[in-house]
């Protein structure tokens, strides 16, 4: 009789470390093709609409970068925590609080053309996200609560807080009772990168922060200490690396990045606060971080891939009349296959005869 | 190799010689790529441990596979083939235990049992399956000398009834007292089969290692006089963090530069609690409970104590002393951060420092980039010892220095510790291996049930370990 057996590899396969995400992307494409056939579509047309059409114009590329920027930025921040085994899944809430904090500055000071308004908004966004992240950090270090649950639940608190503010204190007085704030003044809007296109200078900051994160993760002693705490807590205790420092830093980095992304969204394509600020960037960034294998170059590529999937999904809704949940399904399938393919770095499948 | 009914047959070899792999093949845990196993003269396939049990092959593993929270009877009953019958199993345990002189209370919960008692449960479990062949993997590594004697009596009785015994060990004296024949393995091959009573321990060691092992050299320690002790504990008491841990009560000791103090005792008597308090992995509120070179340090963390000159080599090499998946260079960075400039790691300095340790302590590995888990136990221990020694500590604390380390590396490590102490470092060794402590320690104490004995003569130590 022949049977399959799964064996632990003596050492993680370096080939599979790179191969696993590619396998996951390949299998996800297959699922997309099957999905298309089930829906009665020509798979080639679906793939073209999803992945080729969005990039066939300057405007498409502008939109692509505009969406990739927050995904990459949030994933970078989350990765600092993930490497230390700190599972922050509250980026969506931190993004929202960051946007609210930036909007407070914009609405209070944005009328004049002062040059410091945008930096102040960025600072407020980061501080807002960090304040939201400080709650799970405090609870974890003082009361040993699970940061997974606390960050997850705070997402809903943040969403309700936004809803309260734009229906109440922050509602645009001249807005015909729509639940939204007034439009930000011109000084509170991020300048665009190319005239006539929506892509703005936020992508440059994201790239600069990617460089900074890369240095932190690969070169800094602090990054090393956090990594040891994530892989081998007993060794970190033996070496005397502080666990609470890792928790605080891991969560605050995610909070700062998410809050800044929230500010960039509010001061960029939105220009005001509306009931739904993000199409799920905070959750999609978790996928980006894992597709990128928690490395900076991987995250940049992963962010571009997921942003493309978002655009393609919109395109498919418009031209093929497909439901919006299609994109989410493909996104979910991608993470699912990625985690499954990840097993191949540590394990191998063998055929055995007995 | 072959083993006859009624024979106690030693399988001897260094770590990594292939002893355990060979025994796992016989016990059905691992499959052989080639070759045959003859059982009572007929070729057999042993695809699973269950198949081995059906043939009549029982194995007592080095690491016990017992459930902590249930009773002895329940532990044995779940492992037996056939109907789950607690009352019958209990009767069988009492009967078998009295037949072989293995005193065990069948109703006690396992976590109340000492290590020696747990081993009896493992042996009873194997005997209840009426084996024709019993395999024991390093059964004495955790036993007191008295418990070793009674284990040998049991094994001789089992063998007299016609059961063949394969006895895996690297303790040469035990093999010479117990075993009829010995098969020596080296590098996955049988070097020879000999009558161990006719060979000296040195000759057996030579067969195992392939070269002659030089003896340890040991100068007398420099006199302590009335200088300040390097390490001083006075009335240290602490409750264990873990519900199954041992509270420390009124622990006191003083250790001077240039001497090695050994703390004997079986793990579980407060060893891990004492180590975590000494290393700073657990911090106390009263700073005066521990003094390092006169300074109160009990309220400082591990990193701060290391800066004051406290080095520590923990028992768990993989996972505590080193991160298994990280390179040796990164593992060097765990306790030595002098390659860090402005918060950034200078990789080239780090590589050079790591290479220096690898060279100086003869660590066999592919280089500073080798992962910790790719090294053998002995080589990784040499690396960790080297890393801690290069800190030039005033006090070096070592737990189980040669646990799972081959003879040559163990000798090297012991000699290194002696040389270090003679150069002026105070060394505290916590070990279960009495031979090792007798070989290197200048003074000996015993930790039993969280209390530390006064310094005693070595002949009394064995009795104290058993709680007598």
Note the pLDDT of residue A190.
92
Q: What is the pLDDT of residue A296?
A: 95
Helices and strands (DSSP H and E) totals, chain A: 13, 2
Total count of domains within chain B: 2
Domain for residue B94, yes or no? yes
Q: Using CB atoms within 10 A of its CB, is residue B225 exposed (0-12), middle (13-18) or buried (19+)? A: exposed
pLDDT, tens digit, for every residue of A297-320?
A: 999 999 999 999 888 888 888 888
Cross-chain Cβ contact B320/A241 below 8 Å: no
Residue B225 pLDDT class (50, 70, 90 cuts): low
Is residue B156 located within the same domain as residue B292?
no
Q: Are residues B22 and B82 in the same domain?
A: yes
B203 and B112 housed in the same domain:
yes
pLDDT for the residue numbered A248: 96
Instruction: Please give the backbone phi and psi of residue B48, each rounded to the nearest 5 degrees, phi first.
Output: -140, 160
Q: Could you tell me if residue B299 is left (phi over 0), alpha (psi between -120 and 50 degrees) or otherwise beta?
A: alpha
Task: Specify the range with the lowest mean pLDDT, choosing from B271-280, B379-388, B437-446.
Answer: B437-446
Q: How many residues does chain A have?
A: 354
Instruction: Say whether pLDDT at B435 is over 80.
Output: no
Residue B266 falls within a domain, yes or no? yes
Give residue B32's pLDDT.
87
Measure CB to CB from residue B281 to each of A215, A220, A237 and give the nearest one. A237
- Percentage of the residues of chain A whose pLDDT score is greater than 90: 56
Q: How far is A235 from chain B (nearest CA, A)?
A: 4
Lowest mean pLDDT segment, chosen from A129-143, A260-274, B157-171: B157-171
CB spacing of A221 vs B306 below 8 angstroms: no
Backbone φ and ψ of B153, nearest 5°: -60, -45
Nearest by CB: A234 against B305, B320, B340? B320
Q: Same domain, yes or no, for B274 and B192?
A: no
Enter the ipTM: 0.80
pLDDT for B433 equals: 78
Picking from B309, B312, B320, B348 by the largest number of A CB atoms within 10 A of its own CB, the best residue to mutate is B320
Contact call for residues B37 and B93 (beta carbons, < 8 A) = no
pLDDT at residue B383 greater than cutoff 90? yes
CA distance A216 to chain B (A): 8
Interstrand relation of B164-169 and B133-137 (parallel, antiparallel or unpaired): parallel
Q: Mutation test of the interface with chain A: which of B283, B329, B343, B397, choosing the one with the most A Cβ atoms within 10 A?
A: B343
Task: Tally C-beta pairs within 8 A across A and B.
Answer: 64
Question: What is the C-alpha separation between B305 and B307, in angstroms, rounded?
Answer: 5
Distance of CA B313 to CAs A228, B400, B449, Å? 18, 9, 23
Q: Is residue B157 part of a domain?
A: yes
We report the CATH number of the domain holding residue B203 as: 3.40.50.300
Length reported for chain B:
468
Question: Same domain for B174 and B259?
Answer: no
Interface touch A238/B302, C-beta < 8 Å: yes
pLDDT in tens, B164-208: 999 988 777 888 889 999 998 887 889 889 898 888 777 887 787
Within a domain: B343:
no
What part of A 101-120 touches B (C-beta under 8 Å)? none
Q: Which of A11, A224, A240 is the closest to B333 by Cβ?
A: A224
CA-angle at B73, arms to B95 and B145, nearest 5°? 75
Pair (B73, B180) in one structural domain: yes
Closest by alpha carbon to B183, among B203, B207, B148? B207
Q: What is the pLDDT of residue A285?
A: 95
| CB spacing of A239 vs B303 below 8 angstroms | yes
B57 and B114 belong to one structural domain: yes
Measure the CA angle with vertex B260, ends B255 and B264; round to 5°.
Answer: 95
CB crowding B110-123: b at 16 or more within 10 Å, else e: beebbbbbbbbbbb
Inspect the interface and report whether the beta carbons of A239 and B335 lie closer than 8 Å: yes
pLDDT digits 0-9 by tens, B269-307:
888 899 999 999 999 888 889 999 989 999 999 999 999
Burial zone of B457 (CB within 10 Å; 0-12 exposed, 13-18 middle, 19+ buried):
exposed
Q: With contacts defined as CB-CB under 8 Å, which chain B residues touch A232?
A: 319-320, 323-324
Contact B87, B118 (CB under 8 A): no
Of B281, B320, B323, the CB nearest to A231: B323
Mean model confidence pLDDT for chain B: 85
Cβ–Cβ contact A237 with B under 8 A: yes
Find the CB nearest B343 among A222, A235, A242: A222
B334 domain residue, yes or no: no
- Considering only A146-155, B204-213, B278-287, which range has the smallest mean pLDDT? B204-213
Residue ending a domain, choose from B209, B239, B254:
B209
pLDDT at A3 over 80: no
**Could you report the per-residue pLDDT of A90-140, keeping only the tens digit for each?**
999 999 999 999 999 999 886 766 788 999 999 999 999 999 999 999 999
> A13 and chain B: CB distance < 8 Å anywhere?
no
- Model confidence at A327: pLDDT above 80: no
Q: Which residue of A has its CA nearest to B370?
A: A11
To probe the interface with B, which of A240, A242, A243, A294 has the most B CB atoms within 10 Å? A240
User: What DSSP letter does each residue of B294-342 carry, written as one string?
Assistant: TEE-TTS-HHHHHHTTEEEE-S-TBTTTB-TTSBHHHHHTTT--TTEET
CB contact under 8 A, B334 and A12: no
Which band of pLDDT confidence, cut at 50, 70 and 90, is reported for residue A246?
very high
Instruction: Give the range with max mean pLDDT: A14-23, A209-218, B20-29.
Output: A209-218
Cβ–Cβ gap B319/A219 under 8 Å: no
Q: Which of B76, B72, B64, B68 is nearest to B108 (CA)?
A: B72
In a domain, B372, yes or no: no
Three-state SS annotation for A244-272: HHHHHHHHHHHHHHHHHHHHHHHHHHHCC
- Asked if residue A318 lies in contact with residue A108, where contact means CB atoms within 8 angstroms, the answer is no
Residues A210-245: tens digit of each pLDDT: 999 999 999 999 999 999 998 899 999 999 999 999
Largest Cα span, chain A:
80
pLDDT at B229 over 70: yes
* Residue A352 reports pLDDT greater than 70: no
Task: State the Cα–Cα distance between residues B275 and B295, nearest whole angstrom.
Answer: 19
Q: Following DSSP, what letter does each residue of B187-233 receive, concatenated?
A: TTEEEEEE-GGGS-HHHHHHHHHSSPPPPP--PPPPP-TTPPPSEEE
Q: Are residues B188 and B261 in the same domain?
A: no
Confidence tier at B60 by pLDDT (50, 70, 90): confident
| Residue B116, pLDDT above cutoff 80 | no
pLDDT, one tens digit per residue, over B297-338 is 999 999 999 999 999 999 888 889 999 989 999 999 999 988
- Are B103 and B137 part of one and the same domain? yes
| Cα of B320 to nearest chain A Cα, Å | 4
- Could you tell me if residue B379 is inside a domain? no
- Assess whether B270 and B418 both reside in one domain: yes
List chain B residues with CB under 8 Å of A241.
303
Average pLDDT over residues A257-286: 94
Interfacial residues of B (vs A; Cβ cutoff 8 Å): 47, 279-281, 301-306, 312, 314, 316, 319-326, 330, 333-335, 337, 340, 343-345, 371, 374
Say if the Cβ atoms of B320 and A232 lie within 8 Å.
yes
Residues of B in contact with A219 (CB under 8 A): 344-345
The distance of A241 to chain B (nearest Cα, Å) reads: 7
| Cα–Cα nearest to A260, from A158, A135, A164, A126 | A126
What does each C-alpha distance from B322 to A237, B307, B329, B420 come to in angstroms? 11, 19, 11, 22
Say if CB A118 and CB A228 are below 8 A apart: no
Question: Is the pLDDT at B103 greater than 90, yes or no?
Answer: no
Q: In this complex, do B333 and A231 lie within 8 Å of one another by their Cβ atoms? A: no
Q: Do the chains contact at A241 and B303, CB–CB below 8 Å?
A: yes
pLDDT score of B462 more than 60: no
Which member of A12, A215, A228 has the closest CB to residue B334?
Answer: A228
CA geometry: angle B207, B211, B215, nearest 5 deg: 105
Structure tokens at B24: 């796992």
- Searching chain A, which residue's CA lies closest to the CA of residue B337? A221
A22 CB neighbour count, 10 Å cutoff: 11
Measured between beta carbons, the chain B residues lying within 8 angstroms of A239 are 302-303, 334-335
Percent of chain B with pLDDT over 90: 34
- Based on the domain organization, do B300 and B422 belong to the same domain? yes
Which one has a higher pLDDT value, B227 or B156?
B156
B339/chain A closest Cα distance in angstroms? 10
pLDDT of B368 > 80? The answer is yes
pLDDT band at A46 (very low <50, low <70, confident <90, very high): confident
Residue A349, beta-bridge partner list: A6
The residue behind tokens 């999937």 is A309
DSSP result, A92-118:
HHHHHHHHHHHHHHHHHHTTS--TTHH
* Mean residue pLDDT across chain A: 90
Mean pLDDT of B261-267: 85
Domain span at B131: 8-209
What are the beta bridge partners of residue B58?
B134
Positive or negative, the Cα torsion across B170, B172, B178, B179? positive
Using a CB-CB distance cutoff of 8 angstroms, which residues of chain B are in contact with residue A234?
316, 319-320
Indicate whether B218 belongs to any domain: no
Residue A8, pLDDT > 80, answer no
Q: How far apart (Å, rounded) are the C-alpha atoms in residues B46 and B135?
A: 15
Q: Which two tokens stand for residue B288?
A: 């005066």
Cα–Cα distance measured from residue B269 to residue B263, given in angstroms and rounded to the nearest whole number: 11
pLDDT band (50, 70, 90) for residue B340 = very high
Question: Could you count the other beta carbons within 10 Å of the beta carbon of residue B105?
Answer: 14
Chain A interface mutation, best of B272, B323, B325, highest count of A Cβ atoms under 10 Å: B323
Query: What are the chain A neighbours of B322 within 8 Å (beta carbons)?
Result: 235
Write out chain B residues lying below 8 Å of A224, CB-based. 330, 333, 345
Interface check for A144 against chain B (CB to CB < 8 A): the answer is no
Question: From the list B279, B321, B330, which residue is nearest A224 (CB)?
Answer: B330
* Positions of E strands within B366-452: 395-399, 426-430, 443-448, 451-452
Q: Are residues B199 and B301 in the same domain?
A: no
């Amino acid at each position: 009789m022949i049977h399959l057996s799964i064996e632990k590899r003596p050492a993680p396969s370096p080939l599979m470390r790179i191969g696993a995400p590619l396998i996951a992307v390949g299998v996800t494409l297959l699922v997309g093709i099957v999905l298309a056939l089930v829906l009665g579509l020509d798979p080639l047309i679906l793939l073209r609409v999803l992945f080729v059409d969005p990039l066939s114009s300057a405007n498409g590329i502008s939109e692509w970068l505009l969406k990739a920027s927050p995904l990459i930025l949030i994933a970078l921040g989350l990765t600092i925590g993930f490497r230390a085994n700190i599972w922050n899944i509250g980026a969506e809430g931190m993004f929202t609080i960051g946007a609210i904090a930036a909007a407070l500055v914009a609405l209070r000071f944005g009328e004049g053309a002062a040059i410091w308004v945008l930096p102040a908004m960025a600072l407020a966004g980061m501080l807002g996200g960090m304040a939201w992240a400080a709650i799970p950090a405090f609870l974890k270090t003082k009361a040993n609560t699970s940061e997974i649950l606390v960050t997850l639940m705070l997402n809903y608190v943040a969403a309700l807080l936004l809803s309260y503010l734009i229906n109440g204190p922050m509602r645009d007085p001249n807005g015909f009772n729509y639940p939204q704030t007034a439009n930000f003044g011109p000084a509170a809007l991020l300048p665009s990168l190319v005239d006539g296109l929506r892509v703005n200078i936020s992508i440059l900051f994201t790239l600069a922060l990617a460089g900074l994160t890369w240095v932190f993760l690969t070169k800094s002693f602090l990054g090393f200490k956090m990594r040891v705490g994530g892989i081998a807590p007993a060794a970190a205790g033996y070496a005397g690396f502080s666990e609470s420092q890792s928790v605080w830093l891991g969560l605050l980095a995610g909070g700062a990045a998410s809050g800044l992304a929230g500010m960039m969204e509010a001061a960029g394509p939105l220009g005001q606060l509306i009931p739904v600020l993000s199409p799920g960037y905070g959750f999609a960034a978790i996928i980006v971080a894992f597709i990128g294998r928690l490395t900076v170059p991987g995250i940049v590529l992963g962010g571009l891939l997921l942003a493309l999937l978002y655009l393609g999904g919109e395109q498919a809704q418009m031209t093929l009349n497909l439901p919006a949940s299609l994109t989410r399904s493909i996104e979910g399938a991608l993470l699912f296959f990625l985690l499954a393919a990840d097993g191949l770095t540590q394990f191998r499948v063998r055929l055995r005869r007995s | 190799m072959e083993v006859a009914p009624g024979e106690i047959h030693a399988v001897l070899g260094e770590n990594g010689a292939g002893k355990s792999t060979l025994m796992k093949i016989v016990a059905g845990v691992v499959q052989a790529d080639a070759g045959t196993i003859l059982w009572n003269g007929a070729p057999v396939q042993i695809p699973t441990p269950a198949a081995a049990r059906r043939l009549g092959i029982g194995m007592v593993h080095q690491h016990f596979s017992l459930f902590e929270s249930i009773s002895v009877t329940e532990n044995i009953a779940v492992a037996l083939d056939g109907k789950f019958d607690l009352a019958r199993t209990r009767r069988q345990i009492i009967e078998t235990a009295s037949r072989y002189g293995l005193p065990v209370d069948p109703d006690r919960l396992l976590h109340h049992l000492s290590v020696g008692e747990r081993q009896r449960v493992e042996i009873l479990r194997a005997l209840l399956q009426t084996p024709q062949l019993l395999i024991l993997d390093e059964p004495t590594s955790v036993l007191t000398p008295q418990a070793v004697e009674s284990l040998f009596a049991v094994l001789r009785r089992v063998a007299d009834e016609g059961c063949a015994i394969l006895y895996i060990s690297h303790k040469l004296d035990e093999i010479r007292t117990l075993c009829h024949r010995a098969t020596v393995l080296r590098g996955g091959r049988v070097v020879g089969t000999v009558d161990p009573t006719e060979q000296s321990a040195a000759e057996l060691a030579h067969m195992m290692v392939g070269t002659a092992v030089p003896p340890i050299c040991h100068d007398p320690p420099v006199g302590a006089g009335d200088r300040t002790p390097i390490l001083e504990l006075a009335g240290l008491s602490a409750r264990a963090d873990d519900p199954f841990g041992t509270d420390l009560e009124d622990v006191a000791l003083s250790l001077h530069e240039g001497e090695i103090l050994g703390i004997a005792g079986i793990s579980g008597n407060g060893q891990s609690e004492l180590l975590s308090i000494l290393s700073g992995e657990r911090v106390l509120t009263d700073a005066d409970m521990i003094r390092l070179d006169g300074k109160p340090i009990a309220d400082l963390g591990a990193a701060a104590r290391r800066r004051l000159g406290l080095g520590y080599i923990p028992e768990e090499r993989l996972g505590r002393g080193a991160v298994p998946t990280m390179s040796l260079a990164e593992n060097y960075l765990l306790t030595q951060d002098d390659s860090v400039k402005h918060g950034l790691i200078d990789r080239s300095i780090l590589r050079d420092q790591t290479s220096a340790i690898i060279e100086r302590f003869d660590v066999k590995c592919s280089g500073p980039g080798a992962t910790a888990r790719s090294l053998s136990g002995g080589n990784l221990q040499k690396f960790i010892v080297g890393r801690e020694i290069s800190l030039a500590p005033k006090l070096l604390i070592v737990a189980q220095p040669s646990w799972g380390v081959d003879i040559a590396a163990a000798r090297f490590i012991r000699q290194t510790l002696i040389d270090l102490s003679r150069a002026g470092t105070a060394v505290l060794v916590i070990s279960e291996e009495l031979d090792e402590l007798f070989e290197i320690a200048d003074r000996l104490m015993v930790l039993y049930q969280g209390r530390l004995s006064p310094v005693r003569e070595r002949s009394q130590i064995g009795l104290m370990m058993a709680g007598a």
